[in-house]
């Protein structure tokens, strides 16, 4: 199917014949070229504006992530300071000598085999 452009003025108003007609392909090509020529600068401007908006949003997101990271580091440091106030000598900071002192001060546990017979004795009914 090929498009045709027809002048219907005489047919509609005076019941006459078509005064003009032409094939549509050359007209469509010419109109498309003119439209693209007119729209190209506007399209470039829109594309540049969109690119600028995207760049601004990426920069805002990076700034927000930086702020969140700084806040997380601050909160971690604050939690560490609070922990050190409660236990100023945490296990990771103790020296080898203090570990030995801590174990010597604890009472020794009886091995499980030595305690087992006590558990296995029947209770006296009484």
Domain boundaries, given as residue ranges, for the chain: 4-89
pLDDT digits (tens, 9 = 90+) for 36-90: 888 788 888 898 899 999 999 999 999 999 999 999 999 999 999 998 888 777 6
Ramachandran angles phi, psi of 5, nearest 5°: -105, 130
Q: Is the pTM of this model over 0.75?
A: no
| CA distances from residue 76 to 52, 73, 88 in whole angstroms, order as listed | 36, 5, 17
| CA of residue 37 relative to chain centroid, distance | 40
């Amino acid at each position: 199917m090929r498009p045709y452009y027809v002048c219907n003025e005489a047919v509609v108003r005076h019941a006459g014949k078509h005064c003009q007609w032409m094939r549509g392909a050359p007209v469509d090509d010419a109109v498309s070229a003119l439209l693209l020529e007119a729209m190209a600068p506007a399209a470039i401007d829109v594309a540049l504006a969109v690119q600028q908006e995207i760049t601004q949003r990426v920069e805002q997101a990076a700034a927000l992530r930086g702020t969140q990271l700084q806040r997380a580091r601050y909160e971690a440091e604050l939690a560490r300071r609070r922990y050190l106030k409660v236990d100023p000598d945490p296990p990771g900071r103790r020296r080898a000598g203090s570990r030995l002192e801590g174990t010597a001060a604890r009472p020794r546990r009886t091995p499980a085999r030595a305690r087992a017979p006590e558990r296995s004795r029947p209770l006296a009914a009484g």
